[in-house]
Amino acid sequence: MQSLAGYSPAFLKELYRKMVLIRRFEERAAELRSLGYIPGFLHPYIGQEAVAVGACAALGSHDYITSTHRGHGHILARGGDPRYMYAELFARRDGYNRAKGGSLHIANIELGIIGANGIVGGGIPIAVGAGLALKQARQIAVHRPDDPRARRANGVAVTFFGDGASNQGAFHESLNLAALWRLPVIFVCENNLYGEFTPQHKHQPIRDIATRASSYAIPGLIADGNDVLDVYRVVSKAAEDARKGRGPALVECKTYRHRGHYEGDMGQYRPAEEVAFWLEADPIKNYRRLLLAGTVCSEEELQALDEAVEQELEEAVAFAKASPHPAPEEALEDVFVESYGGRALL
């Protein structure tokens, strides 16, 4: 665990609030799914909150992320609004994706969220492209400072993905490309020890995925993925370097998912002691203890934050429940920007 020295109380409390927001968002989503409000898959992020929150705390408003099938945490950490997220999960018209995407595809470019992704590894090359656009923005800033894209001149892209994804070809190709072109991309691998039901040692012959960085001559860093401040520290440093034009880094965050791979999976393939160990290492519980041990805030303040989260989610659920269902014919919209008179293209 990190020392709290040097961080403002507001910042530290915000980290806490975000983690609780994610935890409770996911717990409620699971409940809502069992009640029939959510028709599709859910891959809960519970247990990994410190990664999304720590990493996104290092980002500013001209930075971008790509996410995964386990994306709610990243999206909330990056500023996603639980109202539009629940509305999307409920398949309602006010959802971020107007009910066309669902959990696997929530995106909002304005917030810097290029999208969750249903394809394991699918978001990684896209982040490289974002890095390319960000690098270009530096040129634009010099030559055409009025172009709105010039504002991104200092931007970085963060791509989240799992241990399982680190075996995909896209991972390798993307790191090579980003390293070669010194793009401002941080590759954040959340090693939660499983790809679906398969433990890490059965899907790759290494323990530390960070070692794969050496194949691209870039830094390979390891963070305690259950320690929000450690993640913040490591990603901040990598982002700082990237903003300075020093190129990408691979950051492995060691963590664990508390639940099954998706809602419905009980996760029995995991040894009880392992689960117990990691429940003990709960990122929120421990961070809460740390905050209380310091002089940053009181139990009451944290309870107030907890309650505010509860309140926010209560309202978000109500918002989603009140949101209209899409009209069936909306299925025909949004394939292309134009309608081409509807049928001609459809």
Partner 1 sequence: MTATPKAEKERRLTYAQAIREALAEEMERDPSLLLLGEDIGEPGGVFGVTQGLLQRFGEERVLDTPISEEAVIGAALGAALLGVPTVAEIMFSDFATLAMDQIVNQAAKFRYMTGGRTSAPLVIRMVTGTAGATAAQHSQSLEAWFTATPGLKVVTASTPADAKGLLKSAIRDPDPVLFFEHKLLYNSRGAVPAEDYLIPLGEGRVVREGTDVTLVAYLYMLPRALKAAEMLASEGLSVEVWDPRTLVPFDRDGLRRSLERTGRLVIVQEAPRRNGFCAEIAAIAAEEFFPLLKAPIKRVCGTNTPMPYAPELEQFVIPDEERIAAGVRETVHSTVRAVSGG
Please give the residue ranges that form the binding site for Mg ion (CB under 5 A).
162-164, 192, 194-195
Computed on alpha carbons and rounded to an integer, the radius of gyration of the chain in Å comes to: 20
What does 309 bind: partner 1, a second copy, Mg ion, none (CB cut-off 5 to 8 Å by kind)?
none
Four-CA torsion 213, 217, 222, 228, nearest 10 degrees: -100
DSSP, residue by residue, 86-152 = HHHHTT-TTSTTTTSS-GGG--BGGGTB----SSTTTHHHHHHHHHHHHHHHHHHHHH-TTSGGGGG
225-264 binders of partner 1 (CB under 8 A): none
Collapsing DSSP to helix, strand or coil, 187 comes out as strand
* Stretch near partner 1 under the rule CB under 8 A, chosen from 168-176, 214-222, 294-302, 306-314: 168-176
Amino acid at 54: G
Q: Give the number of other Cβ atoms within 10 Å of residue 240's Cβ.
A: 12
Token pair, residue 10, equals: 């507001």
3-state secondary structure of 254: strand
CB of 332 to partner 1, least distance (A): 6
Could you give the string, one character per residue 286-325, with x where binding to partner 1 holds by CB under 8 A and - elsewhere? ---------------------------------------x
- Nearest approach, Cβ of residue 38 and a second copy (Å): 33
Q: Give 134 or 165: the residue with its C-beta nearer to ligand TPP.
A: 165
- Residue 111 as a binder of partner 1 (CB under 8 A): the answer is no
Q: How many CB atoms lie within 10 A of CB 27?
A: 14
Q: Which does 179 bind (CB under 5 to 8 A by kind): ligand TPP, partner 1, a second copy, none?
A: a second copy
196 near ligand TPP (CB under 6 A): yes
Q: Pattern 143-172, binding to a second copy, x per CB under 8 A?
A: ------------------------xxxxxx
Instruction: Considering only the stretches 13-21, 23-31, 194-202, 221-229, report the one whose residues sit in contact with ligand TPP under the rule CB under 6 A.
Output: 194-202
What is the pairing mode between strands 194-195 and 198-199? Answer: antiparallel
Which residue shows structure tokens 């090579």? 176
Of 23, 69, 78, 152, the residue at the interface with ligand TPP (CB under 6 A) is 69
Q: How far is the CB of 188 from ligand TPP (least distance, A)?
A: 12
Q: Edge to edge, what strands does the sheet with 157-162 contain?
A: 64-66, 157-162, 185-191, 249-254, 220-224
Which of 79, 71, 110, 86 shows the shortest CA–CA distance to 14? 79
Q: Should residue 218 be labelled a site residue for a second copy when binding is judged by CB under 8 A? A: yes
Query: Is 252 within 8 Å of 223 (Cβ atoms)?
Result: yes
Nearer to Mg ion, 163 or 263 (CB): 163
Does 220 participate in binding ligand TPP (rule CB under 6 A)? no
| Number of residues in contact with a second copy under rule CB under 8 A | 22
Q: How many CB atoms lie within 10 A of CB 287?
A: 25
Closest CA to 78 of 118, 120, 18: 18
Binding residue for a second copy, selected from 13, 33, 72, 212, defined by CB under 8 A: 212
* 174 near ligand TPP, judged by CB under 6 A: no
Phi, psi torsion values for 244, nearest 5 degrees:
-85, 5
Binding to ligand TPP (CB under 6 A): which residues in 119-148? Answer: 119-120
* Euclidean distance between the first and the last CA atom of the chain, given in angstroms as a whole number: 56
Q: Which of 180, 293, 308, 318 binds partner 1 (CB under 8 A)?
A: 180
Residue placing its CB nearer to partner 1 in the complex, 23 or 70: 70
Nearer to a second copy, 154 or 176 (CB): 176
Q: Which residues bind a second copy (CB under 8 A)?
A: 167-173, 176, 179-180, 202-206, 211-212, 214-218
Binding site for ligand TPP (CB under 6 A): 69-70, 118-120, 161-165, 192, 194-196, 261
